[in-house]
Structure 1
Amino acid sequence: MTQFFGDIAPLNYDPQSDGLAFRHYNPDAMVAGKRMEDHLRFAVAYWHSFAWPGGDPFGGQTFARPWMDDTMAGARLKADVAFEMFELLNAPYFCFHDADIRPEGASFAESRRNFEEIIDIFEAKMATSKTRLLWGTANLFSNRRFMSGAATNPDPDIYAWSAATVKLCLDATHRLGGENYVLWGGREGYETLLNTDLSQELDHMGRFLAKVVDYKHKIGFKGAILVEPKPQEPTKHQYDYDVATVYGNLKRFGLEGEVQMNIEQGHAILAGHSFEHEIAMAASLGIFGSIDMNRNDYQSGWDTDQFPNNVPEVALAYYEILKAGGFTTGGTNFDAKLRRQSLDPVDLIAAHAGAMDVCARGLKAAAAMLEDGSLEAARAERYAGWQTPAAKAMLDADLATIAARVEAEGLDPQPVSGRQEILENIVNRFV
């Protein structure tokens, strides 16, 4: 055991507690016929919890973590602390990038050896831990070599480096029994068309993704391949802007049956959508996979990656997830980081505990809304006209036939209220 968390004890469900405890998240509580833990499938993000130093665009490191020395000794200590935190939180899953868990070597081969040593440690720790791997991924955005992208980079050697990195991370994810593999194209986009061959970059991105899918099948990885939409930040014109944009790219390369979405709350907002919109869109297109749970500061206008604390917002997200049948291989990954003034180890535990409680409250509200049925009944009533034989036949008719019917029947349709405020009032009964 390390000394980082001191005498903090494992958290339990205790609604009356005045200390560190879960007041709403009870892993064994039954919600809509399933254990709460099995619905929510919480994951801790290795990067924000253990690798992020507490900087922002205007200031550097504020977290004085004993493992942040860019050495293998530090990486081993970081792994020890991570699994201690997983135990304190009773976390069912975690997620990582390659760069989160190992120091950068002087060559690709050295970085690979560093990475594989930590994967050995993970494998040994997971043998005696309940915590599984929700997904792995590759960091193809932080190093300066990726300043012009990875799969879309104009330099073929960087494309090759990126492909080798993804292979390494997918191999490790498979070895650790990961349930998904995520591709997050943080630099896959462009700043100006003056130096960009848009058609070539999109072609390379699609070919790269197809290679990942092919390799998944080659090694027998049974998990899902997920793409995470990300608009604007850091690249001005991001190729994976939102769910609909990604779906268009998948259709172009015939990958819509092979790839699903990992949707982040903060990214949805930056794309001009709501979180529940992006989830519903992915579900309607048959590509919903998993979520990154966080929130933005709506006054800042950028991706602040804060822990969730808005129960009504979270409830609407889980409502769409439950409507879609819930998670299969996906889950709720806390892609969230402490505020840079929250320096103490207890802040890290409290942030996750509070977020897990918020999600538990949102899940219970979502399940109650579905069981009540008022929202779905109102939706069915609004579209009831489409259940008539004439309406169904119209979908297959040509414009001339439809126009003739309008005149023959003397149609004079009048608008009907959408009752948005009434429906919002129904939601407010539960949240």
Structure 2
Amino acid sequence: MTTGFFGDMSPATFKGAEAGPFDFAHYNPDEQIMGKPMKDHLRFALAYWHSLAWEGGDPFGGPTFDRPWFPHGTMERAKLKADVAFELFDLLGQPYFCWHDADIRPEGDSFAQSLRNFEEIIDYFEEKLEHRNLGLLWGTANMFSHRRWMSGASTNPDPDVFAYSAATVKTCMDATHRLNGENYVLWGGREGYETLLNTDMSRELDHMGRFLNMVVEYKHKIGFKGTILVEPKPQEPSKHQYDYDAATCYGFLQKYGLEKEVKLNLEQGHAILAGHSFEHEIATAAALGVLGSIDMNRNDYQSGWDTDQFPNSVPEVALAYYHILKAGGLGTGGTNFDAKLRRQSLDPQDLVAAHVGAMDVCARGLKAAVALIEDGGLDDALTARYAGWDTPAAQAMLNSDFDAIFADVVAQDAGPKPKSGRQEILENLVNKFV
């Protein structure tokens, strides 16, 4: 028996050129791509928070969505939300979903009551997953919405909040492990500062580093085989967040001895806020050995904040998957749609159409990325550009010193001759495939 929230909609299927707004024109989950099904490259996940918990507000206006489980204050409504969530999962057929604890259970009057609510919903999830080919990509804790987190979680100046944060993450890791989740994510949220006038940055970073070490220690204690992920974001809600971007996170992981234990969950919208492209963040994480998973969305380029829109640019998505494929794929990670409807998109059908379109965009981007790899033009250009470094003389120079290098340069008749980077030619090459 269904809730009736989505009316008489049928599950989305691949129909190619004949597809309407609720079927796939490009995402064919079983199509073989580079030796494995498309679904195993993309590993789609649906974000419980934006799809089911978000009410349609913005900084200048309140909720616009009419959902029968709002306000999110009782277990009855939490279970109704779960019923609708799994109906949505059935319609889309994606292999994974993701949640924060606060998305799926109502807040209790005490930690113990919130935990009872949480565990009851996890029981409910377990029942629903039993007969579905659906998995948990990752779980995480919302440690940013409630006022207790206004000064951070692990970085809070109040040790009682640190303790509350540790207890919260423990329960979420336990639930993720119980549901056979493939990753566990920590998103800093408010792990940062509004002003340095009241911030001891050194102490806060040390506390954050110790907290993340506790997470890793607990992972091994309970036998969780998934990957621990940290999600970079430069600002909003904090003025400056300690997990600013991929490079900053890697420096943090190195300082606290975690670079072999923790990887990154990268989001397109966060990359833009940091002044980067998505492919930059992916390539950086891949080069440093910490590429874990991605949140696929986009920002409005005319707005200076995190608008979390569904992806619709095949060229941007193609370059993201190009670097993912070159790095060997996403491993235990996946493509999570951390995206929300526009507040004027009121109908339940809009939620289905938004995900269908995003999945199609990713499928097109993946195929374009594969075509670029098979063409080999970008690889050939890189090989040619760095060919000088493959000579015995160049390799010997790296094991030399300044005095020897100086002597070689002085002995030369002329200096180096600049060579074209061929950027426009390479951009044109990419455009042949997207």
For normalisation by structure 2, the TM-score amounts to 0.99
Residue 409 of structure 1, CA deviation: 3.1
Rounded Cα–Cα distance in structure 1 between residues aligned with 2:351 and 2:339: 10
2:47 corresponding residue in structure 1: 45
2:393 corresponding residue in structure 1: 390
AA in 2 matched with 1:7:
D
1:347 corresponding residue in structure 2: 350
AA in 2 matched with 1:331:
G
Counterpart check, 1:216 vs 2:188: no
2:111 corresponding residue in structure 1: 108
Rounded Cα–Cα distance in structure 2 between residues aligned with 1:228 and 1:331: 14
The superposition leaves residues 26-67 of structure 1 with CA deviations (integer Å, 9 ceiling, x where unpaired) of 000111111000000000000000000000000111111001
Match of 2:287 among 284, 301, 304: 284
Aligned residue for 1:262, secondary structure, equals strand
Counterpart check, 1:17 vs 2:13: no
The superposition leaves residues 245-295 of structure 1 with CA deviations (integer Å, 9 ceiling, x where unpaired) of 000000001100000000000000000000000000000000000000000
1:266 corresponding residue in structure 2: 269
The superposition leaves residues 172-220 of structure 1 with CA deviations (integer Å, 9 ceiling, x where unpaired) of 0000000000000010000111101111000000000000000000000
Q: After the TM superposition, which residues 32-431 of structure 1 pair with which residues of structure 2 at under 5 Å, given as runs?
A: 32-69=34-71, 70-431=73-434
Rounded Cα–Cα distance in structure 2 between residues aligned with 1:116 and 1:336: 26
The superposition leaves residues 317-349 of structure 1 with CA deviations (integer Å, 9 ceiling, x where unpaired) of 000000000111000000000000000000000
Aligned residue for 2:432, secondary structure, equals helix
Rounded Cα–Cα distance in structure 1 between residues aligned with 2:70 and 2:371: 44
Residue 408 of structure 1, CA deviation: 2.1
Which range is displaced more, 402-411 or 60-69? 402-411
Rounded Cα–Cα distance in structure 2 between residues aligned with 1:261 and 1:19: 33
AA in 1 matched with 2:23:
A
Aligned residue for 2:229, secondary structure, equals strand
Residue 116 of structure 1, CA deviation: 0.4
Rounded Cα–Cα distance in structure 2 between residues aligned with 1:282 and 1:293: 16
Over the matched positions of the two proteins, sequence identity in percent amounts to: 73
Rounded Cα–Cα distance in structure 1 between residues aligned with 2:398 and 2:60: 56
Rounded Cα–Cα distance in structure 1 between residues aligned with 2:27 and 2:33: 11
Residue 411 of structure 1, CA deviation: 4.5
AA in 1 matched with 2:395:
K
CA contact (8 A) 2:378 2:426 kept: yes
AA in 1 matched with 2:88:
M
Rounded Cα–Cα distance in structure 2 between residues aligned with 1:44 and 1:73: 22
Residue 401 of structure 1, CA deviation: 1.0
AA in 2 matched with 1:354:
G
Residue 19 of structure 1, CA deviation: 4.3
Residue 17 of structure 1, CA deviation: 2.4
CA contact (8 A) 2:140 2:184 kept: yes
The superposition leaves residues 214-250 of structure 1 with CA deviations (integer Å, 9 ceiling, x where unpaired) of 0000000000000000111111111000000000000
CA contact (8 A) 2:21 2:353 kept: no
Rounded Cα–Cα distance in structure 1 between residues aligned with 2:19 and 2:130: 32
AA in 2 matched with 1:14:
K
Aligned residue for 2:137, secondary structure, equals strand
Rounded Cα–Cα distance in structure 1 between residues aligned with 2:402 and 2:265: 39
Residue 378 of structure 1, CA deviation: 0.3
CA contact (8 A) 2:14 2:27 kept: yes
CA contact (8 A) 2:176 2:184 kept: yes
Rounded Cα–Cα distance in structure 1 between residues aligned with 2:175 and 2:399: 50
AA in 1 matched with 2:269:
G
Aligned residue for 2:388, secondary structure, equals helix
AA in 1 matched with 2:369:
A
Match of 2:32 among 22, 27, 30: 30
AA in 1 matched with 2:146:
N
Rounded Cα–Cα distance in structure 1 between residues aligned with 2:419 and 2:131: 60
